[in-house]
A and B are shown apart, each in its own frame.
Chain A
Amino acid sequence: KNQVEQSPQSLIILEGKNCTLQCNYTVSPFSNLRWYKQDTGRGPVSLTIMTFSENTKSNGRYTATLDADTKQSSLHITASQLSDSASYICVVSEKNRSNYKLTFGKGTLLTVNP
């Protein structure tokens, strides 16, 4: 059964500090992995996409890594801001012919305090 496990479930940090969120998956065959940011009461928004051949990808203060061998990904947030407070969801795609099947993690709830 395809699964995506995220850790920690929740995290509280002080503004300006760095943090790293983890995502482990068992999805196969792997197509790509995305990190989404979901503000409270809003729809998720894509931050990064990682394909099999990519190890690192940055989007501003967000840096995602992927180890396809160990089936692990991380999202590193640098110099956190209050606006980073949100749920971060890891989504892994499995490609079956022309269709994509997505498996969602439950998310990590990040709270950035002043």
Chain B
Amino acid sequence: SQTIHQWPATLVQPVGSPLSLECTVEGTSNPNLYWYRQAAGRGLQLLFYSVGIGQISSEVPQNLSASRPQDRQFILSSKKLLLSDSGFYLCAWSEGRRNTGELFFGEGSRLTVL
């Protein structure tokens, strides 16, 4: 069966510090990978998605970047965090070849920027 792992679960970082959130998927190949941010009282906002190694599409201009160094690994990064980067970050995957639009989410990473 497929599983998705996301870490760290909780992170408290000072403004201006770097960020790295990691996500890996097991049990499938060539998945589509996504990073979402969820702010309190708001819907999920798509930040990045990837359909293959090294292929990253950005939905929203921002202080963050994403990379996909391996087929089932997706990394969310920032060189210098802003206060506004605080939020709940969710990694997700969907089938690449037989995409039905269903997303499978990780457990999330709570980022607090102080």
Contacts and interface: CB of A to CB of B under 8 A. Distances in A.
A31 interface: yes
A78 to B, nearest CB: 24
A104 B43 contact: yes
B101 A31 contact: yes
A107 B39 CA distance: 12
A99 B34 CA distance: 13
Interface string A54-65: 000000000000
> What DSSP secondary structure best describes chain A's contact surface?
strand
A2 interface: no
Interface in B82-114: 88, 90, 92, 94, 99-108, 110
Q: Which size bracket describes the interface of B in this complex?
A: 20 to 34
A106 B101 contact: no
- Most chain-A CB neighbours within 10 Å: which of B42, B92, B102, B106? B102
Contacts of B110: 41
Interface of B: 6, 41-44, 46, 88, 90, 92, 94, 99-108, 110
Interface of A: 4, 31-32, 34, 41-46, 49, 89, 91, 93, 95, 98-100, 102, 104-107
